[in-house]
Amino acid sequence: MKKIEAIIKPFKLDDVREALGDIGVNGMTVHEVKGFGRQKGHTELYRGAEYMVDFLPKVKVEVVIADELVEQAIDAIVETSRTGKIGDGKIFVTDIERVIRIRTGEENEDAI
């Protein structure tokens, strides 16, 4: 099993959710996050004063899936979240050793 964490632009969330659902991903966790990378934020004007916005709003999507779905999930996220502009985000893939569904005690792929 693998855990995929994707940091994407907020307005792309619905497209990513739908694309992951189409390949059989049944659940996900979504967090509203702020951060920056090479983009380094931007400046805004408020009441005549310019100030730096260092942390930009993003959405972090987390899914735990079977190994055989990983490449399909990555492709779905990339295809639906890419705008071609700076700040499109990142995808991180990590190994998951064990998953337990608290309600039933099911483990690993049965629990996801």
CA–CA gap between residue 12 and residue 83 (Å, rounded): 9
Q: Tokens for 37?
A: 């990378």
CA–CA gap between residue 26 and residue 17 (Å, rounded): 10
CB–CB of 58/71 below 8 Å?
Answer: no
Residue ranges of domains in the chain, CATH in brackets: 2-111 (3.30.70.120)
Which residue has tokens 């967090």? Answer: 31
pLDDT values of the chain reduced to their tens digit, one per residue, 112 residues:
999 999 999 999 999 999 999 999 989 999 999 887 776 666 666 677 766 667 788 999 999 999 999 999 999 999 999 999 888 999 999 999 999 999 999 998 888 8
* Pure H helices in 1-112: 13-22, 70-81
pTM for this predicted structure: 0.83
Nearest to 10 by CA among 67, 82, 59, 79: 59
